[in-house]
Amino acid sequence: MSQPSAVSHLALVRASAGSSVALGERLHGLIEPSRKAPGCLHFALQRSQCDADLWMISGFWASEPAMTAYFASPAMQVFSELVQHLMVNSLDLHTFSEVSARMPAVE
The model's pLDDT over 20-32, given as tens digits with 9 standing for 90+, comes to 999 999 999 999 9
Tell me the helices (H) and strands (E) count for the chain, helix number first: 4, 4
Reported as a single tens digit per residue, the pLDDT across 57-102 is: 999 999 999 999 999 988 888 877 877 888 899 989 999 998 765 5
Query: Residue 8's beta-bridge partner residues?
Result: 60, 96
Question: Cα-flanking dihedrals φ and ψ of residue 17, to 5°?
Answer: -50, 130
Q: Which domains does the chain have, with CATH numbers?
A: 7-97 (3.30.70.100)
Average pLDDT over residues 3-22: 92
- Measured distance CA(64)–CA(95) in Å, rounded: 9
Q: What is the pLDDT of residue 102?
A: 53
Residue 93's Cβ-side half-sphere holds a number of Cα atoms within 13 Å equal to: 8
2 or 18, which is more confident? 18
Give the pLDDT of residue 104.
Answer: 60
Cα 97–Cα 12–Cα 48 angle in degrees, nearest 5: 120
Task: Pick the closest to residue 97 from 56, 57, 68 (CA basis).
Answer: 68
Confidence (pTM): 0.84
